Amino acid sequence: MKQFLPITKTEMSERGWEQADFVFVIGDAYVDHSSFGPAIISRVLESRGYKVCIISQPDWTDEESIAVFGEPRLGFLVCAGNMDSMVNHFTVNKKRRSFDAYTPGGKPGRRPDYATIVYCNLIRRKYKKVPIVIGGIEASLRRLAHYDYWSDRLKHSILMDSGANLLLYGMGELSIVEVADALNSGIAAEDITYVPGTVYKAKDVTDVLEQRNGILLPDFDTLSADKLEYARSFLIQYQNTDFLTARPLVEKYGEKRYVVQNPPSRPLTTQELDDIYELPYMNNYHPSYEAEGGVPAISEILFSLTSNRGCFGGCSFCALTFHQGRIVQTRSHESLLREAQAMTRDPRFKGYIHDVGGPTANFRRPACDRQLTKGVCTNRQCLYPKPCANLKADHSDYIALLRKLRALPGVKKVFIRSGIRFDYLLADRDQTFLRELCKYHVSGQLRVAPEHVSDHVLDLMGKPRNEVYQEFCRRFEKVNQQLGLEQYVVPYLISSHPGSDLKDAIALAESIRDMGYMPEQVQDFYPTPSTISTCMYYTGVDPRTMKKVEITSKPHEKALQRALIQYRLPENYDLVKEALLREGRQDLIGFDKSRCLIPPRKTEQMKKSSGERKTSVEKKKQGTSGKKSGERKLTAHQRGKRRGRDV
């Protein structure tokens, strides 16, 4: 019978366990679903015969909060959660968030800042010698020296600051089993230095550099003193993320302390991925959270299907290259259909599959065949600046999968919400997918991510040029017209990305004006750890070219760019006007809504009108008092009407 893993000593005793093999400390609520990393790792370990208990969101001020199950036989596992804890806590303006989707009832403040470090230090104070293995996206993206936006400085590898023995980066299913088996066989944690997808500490790296062809990166002091050195080091890291071509990376701290990053784990086969996603998940949050209103994050993924991993999109602001890698891995149709059929038997299912995708929904195969034997290219991207000649743009497998899902009894509609790459779609000569996307998988609006309209900003983002997006919009509109459907493309846009200045932001605002749509949400560029864009933000150069990049970092300057994207909002008027005047774009201030972004201020218009009337009165010098009063009333009336129209 399926059941949740133990989260209390009572639940552990009910299983007849006297001691856990691993105690997993996590920053999220315990949700036993395959969209949650800790659920996957714990179920994988369970499938190999290991006893895993969960401590969710412990009180980090109390050492006893991590002693619920006593000392584990093999070690503690630590994960901050499905998000970096600082991203979870703070907006891009560094203001505390008031809602946490990964906590019961959405309540904020249930985990500490830099949660991985805090949890590890808590464990180490209580248990001096027990092995600690860290993982998850926070550990993965902070595995080497990295820029931390919230403290605005370069920080150590999280392995150094946490005191953990070992770090698992990327997708950890293969590496966690190998590490668990090593610990179980009696190998000391400090001797587990050979597992792909791990980072470890060392005092002597002679063998790594001489026998294993490792790369010695600049030491931490050098990186801290010279931002350009950090940019060069980051590029080396970026070029060593493929399981076939990556070399070990070594980073020095102080006199004789080193952090060594092994090459990443290999991609999973389809069978391995199927096996992982068909483990006995409860597909729900632990029932103990029901009294607090449950865990909000479950609502978005409960009836969604993960069909792939990895992404060769290469967006500069995305960390997937560092975390999941560029080689796409897919589940079989049979596995996905079995999961979908199980959904239809869930009493909560209303007939709608919310998503069938992954990092990029319409990637269902590697970008080219050579990636599986030669590795990904280290000096070029698959889609940027234009699709590679070796790219195989093919949606046939995805189309077949979607058709099978639509045909399942009890399924009313299958949505695609995790995003598509429109440049990849256009690269496919067979446009069947676009037609079926419009006909079956969109409900009024299709969200895509052009991100910007200025080509030089798009180049820095690693995104296709604006003309590609415009071509997609034309084809999307044409297909919908043929189908007799009224559906629209809704773009995701980023303001203040490195390289974007006020001129670019104004160009973006003009594009929004022309398409007649004002985005409800705008994402200011958020410098999260280990992305090319974050490296640009910190260093002021593009690490790929070492060319200087214009950076917008001051809050007011960022507010100007953000306001331009939502120029119609009354509260943004002053910011928009300031930006336009600063750039000499008074031509965009006026009453022609087809051309202008904002009208003149009504108070200024009133003063102007009043001044003109006053001059007229002085010239005529008689019979003006009644007319003047009438003009005042008329102007007030017109102003009221105009205010109503503007609102």
pLDDT digits (tens, 9 = 90+) for 406-452: 999 999 999 999 889 999 999 999 999 999 999 999 989 999 999 99
pLDDT for position 602: 62
> Could you give the angle at which helices 173-184 and 37-47 cross, rounded to 10 degrees?
50
Note the helical H segments in 185-219.
Answer: 206-210
Q: In terms of Cα–Cα distance, which of 403, 398, 412, 409 is closest to 361?
A: 398
Q: In terms of Cα–Cα distance, which of 436, 440, 418 is closest to 363?
A: 418
pLDDT for position 627: 39
d(CA 337, CA 278): 11
The CA R_g of the chain, rounded to the nearest whole Å, is: 28
pLDDT for position 516: 81
pTM: 0.90
d(CA 7, CA 285): 12
d(CA 576, CA 598): 8
Burial of 632-643, coded b for 16+ CB within 10 Å and e otherwise, reads eeeeeeeeeeee
Q: 629 Cβ partners below 8 Å, 6+ apart? A: none
d(CA 579, CA 587): 12
pLDDT for position 5: 98
Residue tagged 């058709």 (tokens): 403
d(CA 198, CA 164): 12
Give me the domains of the chain, ranges plus CATH numbers: 9-200 (3.40.50.280), 303-439 (3.30.750.210), 444-605 (3.30.750.200)
* DSSP-derived secondary structure letter, 267: P
Q: Could you tell me which residues are beta bridge partners of residue 133?
A: 77, 166
d(CA 41, CA 172): 7
Inter-residue contact 238 to 533 (CB < 8 Å): no
pLDDT for position 418: 87
Q: Which residues of the chain have pLDDT under 50?
A: 603-610, 613-647
Inter-residue contact 57 to 109 (CB < 8 Å): no
Inter-residue contact 322 to 366 (CB < 8 Å): no
pLDDT for position 622: 44
Inter-residue contact 369 to 391 (CB < 8 Å): no
Cα-based angle 9, 12, 15 (whole degrees, multiple of 5):
150
d(CA 261, CA 535): 19
d(CA 617, CA 626): 11
pLDDT for position 636: 36
Residue tagged 């952090």 (tokens): 259
Inter-residue contact 418 to 362 (CB < 8 Å): no
Inter-residue contact 85 to 116 (CB < 8 Å): yes
Residue tagged 């410098």 (tokens): 527
Q: 636 Cβ partners below 8 Å, 6+ apart? A: none
Residue spans of beta strands (DSSP E) within 36-145? 52-56, 75-79, 132-135
Residue spans of beta strands (DSSP E) within 112-169? 132-135, 146-148, 153-155, 166-168
Q: How far is residue 376 from each of residues 40, 367, 370, 473, measured CA to CA in Å?
A: 27, 9, 8, 30
